[in-house]
Amino acid sequence: MGKTRGRRSDRSDGTEQKLYLQLPLLEMRVPEPDLIFLTDLPGGLDSKEWIASHTIGFFEHINLMYGTVSEFCTPSTCPDMTGPGNRQYHWIDDKGKKARLSAPQYIDYIMTYAQKSINDDTIFPTKHGLEFPATFESHVKKIHKLLFHVLAHIYHMHFKEVVLLQLHAHLNAVFAHFVEFNLRFHMVEDKELEVLDDLMVALKLTPPKQSGSNGTLSAVTAGTADSSITDEENKENIGESQPMTTTSGSTTGEVICSQPLSQFPPVEPGGTSSEPQSNKSDPPSSQVDVEMSADEVSASPSS
C-alpha cells in the first residue's frame, strides 16, 4: 500500500496527534539541575540585566531553530499562524488592529520586532550610564509572548521535520529553559502557556494539574498523543472585539525581513553537548512514527 500524502494532524475521532509527546522524543540536551542554575538570578546582579541577557539568548536560539525548518513553513503549508489545540494567533499592528497572517509572515514580523527592540539602546541599554526604561518590562513580556508563539507553531506544525533533522533534543532544551525562566520571572501569562501544558508535564517542568471534583490528576502519559481540546484552547489569542484585516489590507504594516537560515554546529550522536545539531543529519533511529512523504521533503524551494 502506498503512503498517505500530506500531513495527518488529526485522528478520525477528532483528537490531535502530538508527536512531541511520544516517549522516545522527550529527551533534552540540558539536565534539570543545569536548568535551575541557568535561570536562578546570581547574587548581586540586577534582575533587569539578567532578564535582558536571557531575552537576547532566547531570541537567537528560537530564531535559529525556526531557521532549520523555515523552508517547510510557507504560505501554502501554513496559511495561518497556529499552535496546538487549534490555537490561532493574529498579528496586532501599531493601531491595535488584528491581522490574519500566514505563519512565515507572522514569524517574520516577530523576529523583526524583537531584533529592533534588542538593538534599541532606549529599551536594551548597552552604554555606560544608560538606565533601563520604565517600559522595559512591557517590551520584554511582549517579546517573550511572541517567541512562545513561534515555539508553539514549531511543535504543532514542524516537529516531524525537527525529528528528521535530529534536533528534537535541542528544541526540548530550548523550550525547557524558556519555560523554567518564565515560570520564575512570570514573563508569559498562563493562558499563553496552556497550549503546551501537556509537554511541560511530560518534560517534568510542571506537575500534572488536578481536574474534576474528585481531585483526580489529568496527567499526560508520555508516549501517547491523546489530549482533549477544550474550548479555551480554541479561543483566539486576541479578543474578537478588535477589527480584522487581511494580508492585503493596509493595517498590517510593511515590516518584513528575511529570516537567517543559520545552521547549528554538528553534534555527535549520543553526545552531551548542549550545542544544536546539524540539519543534515540522518533520520533518528528511535522507533517513532515520523514518516514523511517524498512530496513533503521535496516541497522546499530550490536555492
Radius of gyration of the chain (CA): 19
Annotated binding site: 73, 78, 153, 158
Flag whether 64 is in a domain.
yes
DSSP 3-state of 237: coil
Flag whether 58 is in a domain.
yes
The 10s digit of each residue's pLDDT in 145-174 is 999 999 999 999 999 999 999 999 999 999
**Mean predicted confidence (pLDDT) in 128-154:** 93
Q: How far is the C-alpha of 169 from the C-alpha of 32, rounded, in Å?
A: 13
Flag whether 35 is in a domain.
yes
Q: How far is the C-alpha of 215 from the C-alpha of 183, rounded, in Å?
A: 24
| CATH number for the domain that contains residue 74 | 1.20.140.30
Number of helices followed by number of strands (H, E) in the chain = 10, 7
Identify which has the larger pLDDT, 250 or 189: 189
Which pLDDT score is estimated for 39?
A: 78
The 10s digit of each residue's pLDDT in 251-303 is 433 333 334 434 444 444 444 444 444 444 444 444 445 555 445 544 444 44
* Number of domains observed in the structure of the chain: 1
Which pLDDT score is estimated for 241?
A: 37
Q: How far is the C-alpha of 291 from the C-alpha of 293, rounded, in Å?
A: 7
Flag whether 200 is in a domain.
yes
187 lies in which domain range? 19-297
Flag whether 6 is in a domain.
no
**Mean predicted confidence (pLDDT) in 101-109:** 96
The 10s digit of each residue's pLDDT in 190-210 is 999 999 999 999 998 888 876
With a cut of 50, say whether residue 235 has pLDDT above it.
no
For all residues of the chain together, what is the average pLDDT? 73
Comparing CA positions, the residue from 16, 11, 53, 45 lying closest to residue 234 is 16
Between helix 136-157 and helix 168-185 the angle, nearest 10°, is: 150
Is the distance from CB of 81 to CB of 107 less than 8 angstroms? Answer: yes
**Mean predicted confidence (pLDDT) in 46-71:** 94
Flag whether 34 is in a domain.
yes
- The pLDDT confidence band at residue 109, using thresholds 50, 70 and 90, is very high
Q: How far is the C-alpha of 182 from the C-alpha of 193, rounded, in Å?
A: 10
Annotated binding site for Zn(2+): 73, 78, 153, 158
pTM of the model: 0.66
With a cut of 60, say whether residue 230 has pLDDT above it.
no
Flag whether 2 is in a domain.
no
Kindly provide the residue ranges of all beta strands, DSSP E only, lying in 76-209, ordered along the sequence. Answer: 81-83, 87-89, 91-92, 98-99
Helix (H) or strand (E) holding 35: helix 32-39
